[in-house]
Amino acid sequence: MREYWKSDYSWDLQQAKLNKDLYSTTVDGLRIVFKHLKPPSAGRGPLTDAKRQPVLLLHGWPGSIVEFNVFSELLLNDGHEVVVPCLPGYGWSEAPEHSGFGIQEAAISFLKLMRALGYSNGYIVQGGDWGAMIAEHMAKIAPKEAAAIHLNFAVVAFPDTLGTLAKVLLFGTAEDKKRLADTLDFAAVWDVTGYLHEQATRPHTLGATINTTPQGMLIWIAEKFQGWSDPNTELKAKFSMDDLITNVMVYWWSNSFTTAVRLYKESLTESKDAVNVVLSSVAVPAGVAIFPFELFPPPAAYVEDKFKHLIHFSKEVKGGHFAALEQPKALYTSFAAFREKLNAACASNDCDACCIDQHA
């Protein structure tokens, strides 16, 4: 990968791709940089007659807007308008200069961004990692705006109720029982969360070290892409080298590694934002896609217990934590199935939210 970066990688070419449809605005004093993508006209692409719901795509760490290159194209070709922002403190979105800005504050920023873009009548939020947790906050704060969510990262309490635990132990599949056991295994949790402890407690110390060399940053980030995806496949077979390197370049050239990992401290140490997401239920219509090599994919019973209006749940056969980049077509298939079930529920009045297709 390092040799490809030296000899074959073109930053000029990738920079042009990043800059296409890239905009910025100010939300509560912070500059937010985002892609605003609109589908081709009816004569140029495979659009349906009805306009689709707007979609907000939210990345996490150590990802970026690069993760959604293919996935956003699939959404565009099916008629969705798409907004893909850099999280505050990530990429070229400005970092807050004060403490107290965690994922709840990020959720408020994105609600205001979508309002500024004219999407206040209802849209779908899709995300993984921090993006999934921000999506849950948005739906909780403004359920008529973030009217539906589709996630490929579902964080739940283990175990939260004896009833749910009993469902898994008595009626769960062998796969679900293994997922529960893996999540409760202290050694397994410790093995894959060392980075989290460092970033949640000493983000500035880590950042000062990682920022000294692009190769060091590449190693720290690429190790996560290898470890949190299909372990049976080589890195270069799972991901485009251009995408992986460009993702690192976003952090390097924007000097945002430290401000990005500070989100861990703000959301896990300084506040209980992340804990609140884990413990809270979700009321808006939801779709969840669980990929087999996710860090801790939850048993089905826990997903069903947390998401009170779960209208689509898919167990995927390939891929891991970075689904939009590793398995974009599978993620889109799950998303499209969720969208159609959402529209059907709205059409039959079996939906707590408004039929957001009508407002697209």
**Residues annotated as catalytic (active site), given as ranges:** 129, 264, 321
Identify which of 294, 295, 282, 338 has the alpha carbon closest to the alpha carbon of residue 314.
338
Would you say 55 and 123 are in contact if contact means Cβ atoms under 8 Å apart? Answer: yes
Identify which of 30, 255, 31 has the alpha carbon closest to the alpha carbon of residue 22.
31
Secondary structure of 201-235 in the HEC alphabet? HCHHHHHHHHCCCHHHHHHHHHHHHHHCCCCCCCH
Would you say 286 and 304 are in contact if contact means Cβ atoms under 8 Å apart? Answer: no
User: For residue 124, what are the β-bridge partners?
Assistant: 55, 148
Measuring CA to CA, how many Å separate 173 from each of 15, 85, 115, 224, 336?
Answer: 46, 38, 43, 29, 26
**Spatial separation of the C-alpha atoms in residues 256 and 164, rounded to whole Å:** 40
Measuring CA to CA, how many Å separate 358 from each of 19, 40, 250?
Answer: 32, 20, 37
Tokens coding 244: 């992986």
- What are the residues whose beta carbons fall under 8 Å from the beta carbon of 208, sequence distance 6 or more? 258
**Spatial separation of the C-alpha atoms in residues 61 and 261, rounded to whole Å:** 8
User: For residue 312, what are the β-bridge partners?
Assistant: 287
